[in-house]
Structure 1
Amino acid sequence: MEDYIKNWNKIISNCSFDNTYKMAWAKAIVETAISKDIDSALIISFEEIAELFLKYYWNQTIYFNLTQGSSLKKIPEALKYTKNLIDLYYAKKGDYFPQRYEKIIFEDFGIESEKNKTIKKIVKTLGQDVSWRFMNLSGETYPLYELVENQVVLSLENAKLLKKYSDFLFPMINYRWTQMLESFNHSPRISSKVRAIDEDSIKKRNNLNKFREFLDLEFSDNKRYCFYCGKEIVDDDLTIDHVIPWSFMYSDDIWNLVYCHRSENSSKSNRIPEETDVKALECRNKLLLEKLTENKISSKRVDELQLAIEKDYVKKFWISSRG
């Protein structure tokens, strides 16, 4: 392997970090090298890199709200700008269903100019920090590229090497990014989330109706009641909700699923539940297990419910979700 690629690998594997900027920077440069026909020196504008930053952080935030830095009080500026744009997008869209950055036509929502302003803000952040810091490791500077007026300049030879070894570098970058995220986040299945975003294979919300045969047994009068308000729910207004948000759990678990009204499900969105809801869910799970046992229901769902009660999953995952 050429020394140039070894140096990329050395920095990716050993760089210090208090946020994920360096991995986003590395990924953006390699992704750009792959996307272009290279027959001369490769010049990448900070604007191109900034939009890729926005794409990466948008997708990781809108689906899983992943923390990208070590400080909960001071989030990385690029992530802050991204979150502000997501909030504006949701406000214009009128619902909270996530969508990948690259599939959104921002003009349709009247926020194209806000997107461009966000990119310009990220450009400024790149120039102040990661663009030059990325090449420094243990007191030594590795000449991976040149910086010229908010542009990354790679020689023809080095650009071709990045493209040639992209299949080696991408897994390294994703692995290191995942390590960083695991140190910043308490949520489960980080590697699955990162891989799903990168491969555009985020699993769709499953149809939760298969859980009804179990959840119905909580009630003895053949009616269904809302977990949050306690009122009866008519069939047309019935939904099944993840008490601890799906975006955190990235799974459908019977011990975390309840009936509620559609309006309450929509307004709750990805909000972390209050302690009163957590205690109510713990009581519900014990009651549901009793009902399932009384009715001699034997299923892996029952086993999962019993294990969740024994291992105190509700409280443990709720505490983790609060950060």
Structure 2
Amino acid sequence: MDKELIRNIAEKEIAIGVDVPYSREVDYITFSRVLKDDRVVASYKMYWLLAILDEVQEGNIEIEFRKLITRMIAYAWYPISKFRLYFGAWDNLGKVVNYISDTYNLKPNINKSELIDFIYNSNDKELNKMIKNLTYNVPHKFLSPFYDGIAKEPSLKTVMMLSKEHKRWIYEIYRNSDEENCIRIREGWDDYLKYNYKIIQGWVYYKLVCFLQKRNPNVPGIAMKLEAPLNRNLTTQTKIWTSIIERKNIIDLYTGLPFTQENYKEHGNLSMDHFIPWSFVLHDQMWNLVPTFKNINSKKSDNLFKYEDYIEGLAKLQYDAFCFVVDENKKEEIEEYRGILRVPDAVAFKAEGSYEEFFKRYKDGTCPIYNIAANQGFKVVNGIYIRS
């Protein structure tokens, strides 16, 4: 495939200076400004957006303030209760988390769904007062890029009225039949958020890491302190890739060398690299893993290799992996590919689709994430190639 064509497509996927995916249907440029540094003095907007993403992913477009605030508290629970991260003088999420933790003696690693249910259904008057206080700022101030030039520091009531008039805004604020304040995701925005869930989620997490690092300058590994850690054991993924290497006789994407005992001895054992760095994507999903040699993985570190130089080889490698996990009915990995390929049924896609269609969908899914990582400062370097 023409590398210049790939480069042109990559540049269009994420507009210059814009950290969110392009869309003809919604005002993505204004949306990209909701988390600009000069607009963020607390963690609220980032956790608010993560909460919205989760609700939309579950098929909800009419959402109570209380449900979103509950999700915000659940997101902030682990970094505050476990690591005591400082969220800044303007941020009151810590007060809520500490109150719940001290009052009910809940563990830092409590199941997130259980925590959400506990908070949402609580009759604790003090807790409910804290939740209500959090609704006075973030729901309408999140929309500030959309009402710039229309109103200056408007009240919730004013923004509620404006949100009914301006159909291009991401959501409308209204009161439901139970007199509860809610948001209603606008038509087009629900599809945009659902379709680009992983990309936008990654963008928000990166912004959150930057926000917290500034306020906790001496705390290492902020990215790994945001959620209760899953066991980052890559044994399953390594076994899958080992089987693929044996069946397909694939070579190392980065060096061009075959996976032989001689090369393992010289360049290190088999190692799983994250093509887009783990410190950006914060997951170990198959579609972003590349089998390589340990020493090569260490050299690559948290850098990005040039997308246009590697996308064809990476896609071929990933197609082999995709076919393998489908044929072997690896359900968790199948779901991971379904997400990045944006198909309703990955098994049916494998049966009915072609490599060309896989390549297109894989590129459409990974290119925006790669470009956001590059835009956010991850260094793009030349690759490592040993075999002539």
TM-score for the superposition, normalised by structure 2: 0.42
TM-score for the superposition, normalised by structure 1: 0.50
Structure showing greater radius of gyration is: 1
